[in-house]
Structure 1
Amino acid sequence: MSVNQEFEKTGSIAYLCDEYLKNNFIDPEASERLGVKRGLRNPDGTGVLAGLTNVCDVVGYDLVDGKRVPTDGKLIYRGIDVEQIVRAAYAEDRFVFEEVIWLLLFGSLPTPHQLASFKQVLEAHRELPKDFAEDMIMKAPSPNIMNKMARSVLALYSYDDNPEEQSLTNILSQSIALIASLPTIMVNAYQIKRRVYDRQSMYLHLPQPGQSTAEHILSTYRADQKFTKEEAKLLDLCLVLHADHGGGNNSTFACRVLSSSGTDTYSAISAAIGSLKGPKHGGANHKVMEMLGYIMEGVKDHSDDAEIAAFLRRILRKEAGDGSGLIYGMGHAVYTKSDPRAVILRRNAEHLAVEKGFEDEFRVLCAVERLGPDAVREVKGTKDVCANVDLFSGLIYRMLGISEDLFTPLFAISRIPGWCAHRVEEVVFANRIMRPAYKYLGHEQEYIPLEERG
């Protein structure tokens, strides 16, 4: 019997909670009074400047005379607007996630020869070490794929002949191997979860040569291994748009914090996965799909903007939806007028939405994107709100037949190149352990001998 089960059996856990609350309290207003920047946010909502990076820039506003001025959002990988990358991918009808991995890791666009060689290296690392799937995944299944991915990444430490070395050569080698193998880990973990927890058949397909990352995921995920190029390209697009989002997002910052301590690559990446699992960070598209269900049911005419806007106001007043008062997929810490990822996904997902019978749901989400900002301003008085990438990503995954169990894990697959790029930068250039300060608010008390405590 676990300690927690024993507490629950005896009723002690309620007592312990009461004991904690009796002796612990921090007034949220104390943060403002003492100049503490909660969430590492400045009073104007901007992030506290904590480091320097060449990897990625997220542009959502201009600072004019110390004030934020809204501007169209831009996502910039190594100086290149992601919009240019996406347009090139569709104009040239090819997959580009592997190119983005190279760009984020090394800082420049690969030559044709470099890209071809890099793809071969990634392919070579997709298959997991001998008996890894059986020993590390099948024998210890998890109902949550993110937890299984984090544990599997930590387990790979034991399969590395040189896991601790902090040289650039070693960290890059580890990074490339993790980027290549994490999709295989994800699909294997999902298939075992299906068998053990969902009581459904599982399919463990081997990686196929010559496939892009998106094709590899769909091929190993689907029972018949069949998919169209349009489906794979849309998944490739999602991977590209989630590949990085600056050094300050929670999971990347977690990776950099651990990296600053000198710990190994596997520990740093596992921590990033744990951060991304949090619903405040990587799980928002689940809530968007839940909200979409409420709208589809609660709005009679899905083409009526007035009716949809009225329902959104009800959501904000906690009269509809899940009672949170939030329009999921709306709002961002940096973007003000637009999130370029949401714009790109909307533009490129429409055709497949119509083809697969999701046109109605897609149109409703477009209405939320269009009407949501005014509803938020009217009810909450909040300015500069726009749709974010989560508004459309969940529906795209559903259109591709991907289980909600994999929505956040796919985010991790997309983001690991960014995590690795920031880890390399932290180790090579920052070279100082992160150590912010916390203000102590506890009161002084005397030590009382055990026999005198009542």
Structure 2
Amino acid sequence: METAIDKLAILTESNSLIEPELYDKYNVKRGLRNSNGTGVLVGLTKIGSVEGYKLIDDKKIPKEGKLFYRGINVEEIVDGFQKDNRMGFEETTYLLLFGKLPNKTELDDFNKLLSEMRCLPKHFTENMILKIPSSNIMNKLQRSVLVLYSSDDNPEDLSVRNVLKQSLNLIAKFPTIISYGYQAKSHYFYDNSLFIHSPRKDLSTAENILHMIRPDSTYTKTEAETLDLSLVLHAEHGGGNNSAFATHVVSSSGTDTYSAIATAVGSLKGPKHGGANLKVRDMVADIKENVTNWSDKNLLKDYLVKILKKDAFDNSGLIYGMGHAVYTLSDPRAELLKKKAKELACEKDSLKEYELYTNIEELSKEIYKTFKGEDAVISANVDLYSGFVYELLNIPYDLYTALFATSRISGWCAHRIEQIISDKKIMRPAYKSIDKNINYIDLDLR
């Protein structure tokens, strides 16, 4: 059987290859990118926007990065809830879904609404999660989303009220699904003890995650605040990111909410999208293993040069956690998380680790100029510090991308609702066939 598949694989590969120069010949916008690296405009949105450069005479001019949720600078949002000494993810979700900041009563009512929806349907934990454990939590999350369709009395109704109800239900349940999915994997794949803690109504999303994934359910205030900040910063990133765009594409067909969100989860699962912080953690582990004194900037710089030259780590030539498709001089998410990471590192007595990450950021900028020229710019992206933060929080490796999904579903649902209300035309881009027409040959003559 394997030999037959091997032969078919060779045949498939030979007949599926399209020569790279043909993409240029037919002016194909590969990756939906223009020749100057900007994204092809395919839609309009009020939900989020990203600024990372100015475009002058079709040329990118670097600028400090900014991220806006419903027109409000995310830095102002973070400053607002942090100075009030409270969690911010629920407020951010409210803003993304409803287009306005909630007052205190509205926020309290919204928190109560989410808390009432966090528990999974009867027998769902046993039958869907524990009896069918998965080696990948994102796979478990995607399947669970689709199965939740069966517990919905009206899954196909596309009225705004019903889609909003479904969206809130999924946003509330994602933390529970990923936490139980991890516990199942930890038990059945790693032979650890099984801990199933019910979500608590008095806890925020971030607090509930720490409560459900830890055997003793304990956490510090700084830990909860740090995870909450990470959730806020990953909640939305404009309609053009891969998973949000996938949500738009699938929603445009008129399909149900569960199919649309499961598609977004599948998109985020890809290592080119949601798995970047995993690569950061692997790269840093590789640095620690191969640099005898990683506090020595000269030794660290030499190894980073090897990584850039494809002579070390995964030979990709990428310093993970550095660079972004939109941000140039800075990624505001990285800046905000970096600040909180230092606070958490102090609490965990891990300042040496923190300095390793800041040194990677600083030295990578220097190296990049050496290789690309003095005018070249690169900055740390959010993945550099989110991986570090998750490590400090002792978040299991298996949950890194699932936490991203738990945050980003707020943006996905907002984009889906916007699509349903504002743009009812099905998305159907063009593909040009470059194959030649040939005549059919009878079986006996082949």
- The verdict on a shared fold, with TM-score over 0.5 as the criterion, is yes
CA distance in 2, matches of 1:165, 1:24: 39
Q: How far off its partner does 1:66 sit?
A: 2.3
Match of 1:213 among 201, 205, 208: 205
1:298 paired to 2:267: no
Which position in structure 2 is the counterpart of 1:348?
340
Please give the residue correspondences for 1:349-368 in structure 2 after superposition, counting only pairs within 5 Å: 349-368=341-360
The answer to whether the 8 Å contact 2:36/2:58 transfers is no
Match of 1:286 among 278, 286, 290: 278
Deviations 1:325-353 (A, max 9, x none): 11001110000000011111111110211
Q: Unpaired runs of 5+ in structure 2? A: none
Letter in 2 for 1:306: N
Match of 2:161 among 162, 169, 172: 169
CA distance in 2, matches of 1:177, 1:209: 14
Q: How far off its partner does 1:380 sit?
A: 5.0
Which position in structure 2 is the counterpart of 1:4?
none
Which position in structure 1 is the counterpart of 2:405?
412
Higher mean alpha-carbon deviation, 134-143 vs 160-169, is at: 134-143
CA distance in 2, matches of 1:17, 1:222: 44
Match of 1:55 among 47, 50, 53: 47
Q: How far off its partner does 1:12 sit?
A: 0.5
CA distance in 2, matches of 1:23, 1:172: 45
1:104 paired to 2:96: yes
Q: How far off its partner does 1:25 sit?
A: 2.2
1:426 paired to 2:416: no
The answer to whether the 8 Å contact 2:141/2:181 transfers is yes
Which position in structure 1 is the counterpart of 2:393?
400
Deviations 1:414-438 (A, max 9, x none): 1000000000001110111100001
Which position in structure 1 is the counterpart of 2:380?
387
Q: How far off its partner does 1:294 sit?
A: 2.0
Q: How far off its partner does 1:108 sit?
A: 0.3
CA distance in 2, matches of 1:142, 1:279: 18
1:231 paired to 2:209: no
CA distance in 1, matches of 2:162, 2:99: 18
CA distance in 2, matches of 1:64, 1:328: 29
Higher mean alpha-carbon deviation, 316-325 vs 124-133, is at: 316-325
Task: Provide the TM-score with structure 1 as the length reference.
Answer: 0.96
Please give the residue correspondences for 1:53-452 in structure 2 after superposition, counting only pairs within 5 Å: 53-380=45-372, 383-452=376-445
Letter in 2 for 1:444: N
Letter in 1 for 2:121: P
CA distance in 2, matches of 1:220, 1:326: 35
CA distance in 2, matches of 1:188, 1:296: 32
CA distance in 2, matches of 1:205, 1:380: 51
CA distance in 2, matches of 1:393, 1:256: 26
Secondary structure of the residue aligned to 1:74 is: strand
Deviations 1:202-257 (A, max 9, x none): 10011112110000101111111111111100000000000000000000100110
Q: How far off its partner does 1:139 sit?
A: 1.6
Letter in 2 for 1:356: K
Secondary structure of the residue aligned to 1:327 is: coil
Secondary structure of the residue aligned to 1:435 is: coil
Q: How far off its partner does 1:151 sit?
A: 0.3
- In percent, how many aligned pairs have the same letter? 52
Deviations 1:124-154 (A, max 9, x none): 0000111111111112110000000000000
Task: Provide the TM-score with structure 2 as the length reference.
Answer: 0.98
